[in-house]
Amino acid sequence: MTVVGPFGLSVRDQALEADVQAGLAAVEEGLIEATKSEVPFITEAAQHLVRAGGKRFRPLLVMLAAQFGDPYAPGVVPSAVVVELTHLATLYHDDVMDEADVRRGVPSANTRWGNSVAVLTGDFLFARASHILADLGPEAVRIQAEAFERLVTGQILETAGPRDGRDPVEHYLDVISGKTGSLIAVSGRFGAMMSGADETVVDVLTQYGERLGTAFQLADDVLDIASDSHESGKTPGTDLREGIPTLPVLHLRAQAAAHGRPADLALCELLDGDLTDDVRHAEALAGLRVHPALEQARRDTIRYAEEARSALAPLPECDAKAALVELCDAVVHRAG
Q: Read out DSSP for 189-256? A: HHHHHHTT--HHHHHHHHHHHHHHHHHHHHHHHHHHHH-SSSTTSS-TTHHHHTT---HHHHHHHHHH
DSSP 68-113: GS-TT-TTHHHHHHHHHHHHHHHHHHHHHHHT-SEETTEE-HHHHH
Domain edges within the chain = 11-334
Cβ 331 vs Cβ 9: under 8 Å: no
Cβ 63 vs Cβ 78: under 8 Å: no
- Work out the end-to-end distance of the chain between its first and last CA atoms, rounded to an integer number of angstroms: 23
Distance of alpha carbon 13 from alpha carbon 262, whole angstroms: 55
User: Exposed (0-12), middle (13-18) or buried (19+): which is 190, by Cβ within 10 Å?
Assistant: buried
Question: What pLDDT score does 277 carry?
Answer: 87
Helix (H, G, I), strand (E, B) or coil at 4: strand
Cβ 29 vs Cβ 81: under 8 Å: no
Q: What is the mean pLDDT of the chain?
A: 89
Question: What pLDDT score does 312 carry?
Answer: 98
Helix (H, G, I), strand (E, B) or coil at 312: coil
pLDDT, one tens digit per residue, over 230-258 is: 454 557 788 888 788 899 999 999 999 99
Question: What pLDDT score does 27 carry?
Answer: 97
Question: What pLDDT score does 5 carry?
Answer: 52
How many helices and strands in the chain, by DSSP H and E?
A: 17, 4
Distance of alpha carbon 213 from alpha carbon 308, whole angstroms: 9
Question: What pLDDT score does 10 carry?
Answer: 60
Task: Dihedral sign for Cα 21, 27, 28, 29, please.
Answer: positive
Cα 150 to its chain centre, rounded Å, is 14
pLDDT, one tens digit per residue, over 130-178 is: 999 999 999 999 999 999 999 999 999 988 899 988 999 999 999 999 9
Nearest to 47 by CA among 113, 98, 1: 113
Distance of alpha carbon 324 from alpha carbon 312, whole angstroms: 8
Give Dmax (Cα) for the chain: 61
Distance of alpha carbon 161 from alpha carbon 248, whole angstroms: 16
Written as tens digits, the pLDDT of the chain (336 aa) is 344 555 556 666 788 888 899 999 999 999 999 999 999 998 998 888 888 878 899 999 999 999 999 999 999 999 999 999 999 999 888 777 766 677 776 777 777 777 888 899 889 999 999 999 999 999 999 999 999 999 999 999 988 899 988 999 999 999 999 999 999 999 999 999 999 999 999 999 999 999 999 999 999 999 999 887 545 455 778 888 878 889 999 999 999 999 989 999 999 999 998 888 889 999 999 999 999 999 999 999 999 999 999 999 999 999 999 999 999 999 888 766
Distance of alpha carbon 208 from alpha carbon 136, whole angstroms: 23
Whether the model clears a pTM of 0.85, i.e. scores above it, the answer is yes
Q: How many CB atoms lie within 10 A of CB 21?
A: 15
Distances in whole angstroms, Cα of residue 248 to Cα of each of 37, 167, 172, 204, 214: 42, 14, 11, 30, 15
Cβ 305 vs Cβ 293: under 8 Å: no
Domain 11-334 has CATH 1.10.10.10: no
